Amino acid sequence: MRSKLVKVLAGVVVFLLLLVFFHSFILTGYARFFEVSNAEKEADAIICLSGGKLTRVPESIRLWSEGYGRELFLTEEKSSNAKFSHLDVSNLDFAKAVSSEIKKNINWKILPSQDGGATSTFDEAEDALKYAKENDWERLIIVTDHFHTRRAFCAFEKVFKDSGIQVQVAGVDNDIFNATNWWKSDRGILTYFSETIKYPIYLLWDAEPEVVSNH
């Protein structure tokens, strides 16, 4: 009995020592799991997902400028407060302002929503699939934050399954946290905690259930 207890305590001590001396390596590796990056040049379109325009719009412009896609799209996002939505800067207005700021002449387009605006990544995927089929796309690139890439890719792959249309993903970091330091800020901790919960749920869903659907 005593020997078993000693082994357990020794294991705990070893684990804690590893955590202390190698926590950066372990936590960075954990964050890297949520990242997917497989974008290739000459896609039919680049779609900038909603939810992080300050980072995603500039990255979408960079990819477009370097020939990753022929057209640039923004998803249509449902307002959380329609009464005051006119006071907010829309994705399109922000994208146009950034393009003007960096002197890029870009014809931004809004990806039409099937239900007055997307409320989830699954909604965005459904909207993208409909438009892609109507316009004979063969390949598209979605742009989102690095921490969101694996979950976004999961949702799009499920929705685009058997469509014959290839989906690729490109990620971007923000100025507050990234995979190498996320545990040092409240926002980083909350973000990766959220992804830890959301990603397994997305894996289980073949599509967004009606109970949480925007439809």
Share of the chain above pLDDT 90, in %: 66
| pLDDT tens by residue, 59-118 | 999 999 999 999 999 998 766 666 666 667 788 889 999 999 999 999 999 998 887 777
Q: How far apart are CA 64 and CA 23, in angstroms?
A: 37
| pLDDT tens by residue, 110-143 | 998 887 777 789 999 999 999 999 999 999 999 9
3: its two tokens: 């020997």
Whose tokens are 């325009």? That residue is 53
Parallel/antiparallel/unpaired status of strands 139-145 and 166-172: parallel
Model pTM score: 0.84
Q: Where are the alpha helices (DSSP H) in 33-171?
A: 53-65, 91-101, 121-134, 149-160
Which of the two residues, 57 and 81, has the higher pLDDT score?
Answer: 57
Closest CA to 35 of 169, 176, 205: 169
The architecture (CATH level 2) of 35-78+86-204 comes to 3-Layer(aba) Sandwich (3.40)
* For the chain, domain boundaries: 35-78+86-204
User: Does position 159 have pLDDT exceeding 80, yes or no?
Assistant: yes
160: its two tokens: 């685009």
